[in-house]
Amino acid sequence: MRIYLRPTAFVDTPFGLDGQVLRLAGGLLWFSAIELIRVEDGRRVETTLVPVDRLEEAFAALPGMLPEKAEEILARIVAPRAPLQLGERVVRLDQPQVMGILNVTPDSFSDGGRHVGDPAGAAGAGVAMAAEGAAIIDVGGESTRPGAATVWEGDEIERVRPVVMALARSGNAVSIDTRKAAVMEATLAAGAHIVNDISALTYDDRSIEVVAASTCPVVLMHIRQMPAAGTADDVLIAVYDWLEERIAAVEARGVARSRIIVDPGLGAGSFGKRVRDNMALMNGLSLLHGLGCPILLGASRKTFIGALSSEAPVERRLGGSIGLAVLGAAQGAQILRVHDVAETVQALRVWRGLRDQALTPGM
């Protein structure tokens, strides 16, 4: 049997609730209860809602070594996430931050190759995103849409390196979205600060070595075909377990957990998620705080938004994208990877204003 803890029952303010609430990951959210989940063979066998002030009692009643495991998970849930030192910039993770998506591919599902062959224009678009409020610019040179061709690493480097270099030189925090070790090496040397690998460092055997040899943070994304419809497997638990295994494997190769960011990998196609899977992951997102790593959420313009809104095409998914971004922030996601920076930043500023008002004594 395994246990999982999902913080829930969030409250507007902790004032007057001493001993009844805990702070989530050192951020702007406080929760008053935990879903204590027991799992056997990938299936939930029990879910109990435990108030924070009764956690000690609930943990003590668990069999074997599970009380110690529960305390370990809870400590990870409440531990503050350290700020990211990204070149000249410090990105705090006690509040949600926006990562702007900058594709330099000819076949991106979202922008149709707008910046291919124009590194100066691409860099300018990244600078504009930063001006709109993006804390990090995520540069990618290979499409991950279903059916997209694999890009030779030399071509990928040629696409992304000048853009990364220009953005880094202008003082921006830059992430490189790639699964290839050679591209990681070339762009880290050009000034990239984060490696964002959709394969969680499984695609290229050398990628873990490259990341371990650097000091950069790394995003490990869940990418695995989900169980077939009608099986007993729990999608949220499956994603948690897979990410936990990848964290352990990467740690064993020399990458400290403090450098790891996790991404549940929302999306259909190559990411292997059905509409119901994506919804389950969004509804239960706060479970992933038990991994003790910052959470990156990439829900922007995803296919399942269209599926839930009369098959809206990609250019008409802004409302759904913002809705999911705010829901992610409300469950403690620290980084929101988006296409529509200005609109998302505005939504988060409103959300942050509401939080600030609730957390101001006497208001």
pLDDT at 74 over 90: yes
pLDDT tens profile 11-61: 999 999 999 999 999 999 999 999 999 998 878 999 999 999 999 999 999
pLDDT tens profile 209-255: 999 999 999 999 998 766 555 444 689 999 999 999 999 999 999 99
Average of per-residue pLDDT across 302-319:
92
Q: In which residue are the tokens 């990951």 written? A: 25
Cα angle vertex 279, ends 276, 283, to 5°? Answer: 140
Q: Measured between alpha carbons, how far is 36 from 50 in angstroms, rounded to an integer?
A: 7
Q: Please, which residues have CB within 8 angstroms of residue 94's CB and are 6 or more apart in sequence?
A: 26, 27, 28, 80, 81, 83
What is the model's pLDDT at position 113? 60
Average of per-residue pLDDT across 261-276:
84
Q: In which residue are the tokens 């000048």 written? A: 162
**Domain map (residue ranges) of the chain:** 2-78, 84-357
Active site residue 161: no
What is the model's pLDDT at position 271? 64
Token representation of residue 9: 């029952």
Cα angle vertex 174, ends 173, 177, to 5°? Answer: 155
CB atoms within 10 A of CB 357: 11
Q: Which of 243, 234, 324 is nearest to 35 (CA)?
A: 234
What is the model's pLDDT at position 109? 53
How many alpha carbons fall within 13 Å on the CB side of residue 88?
7
CB atoms within 10 A of CB 132: 16
Of the candidates 337, 349, 352, 355, the residue annotated as catalytic is 337
84-357 has which CATH code? 3.20.20.20
Q: In which residue are the tokens 């829930």 written? A: 8
CB atoms within 10 A of CB 170: 14
pLDDT tens profile 133-170: 999 999 999 987 666 778 899 999 999 999 999 999 99
pLDDT at 343 over 50: yes
Active site residue 89: no
pTM: 0.95
Could you give phi then psi for residue 32, rounded to 5 degrees? -110, 0
Of the candidates 302, 349, 352, 355, the residue annotated as catalytic is 302
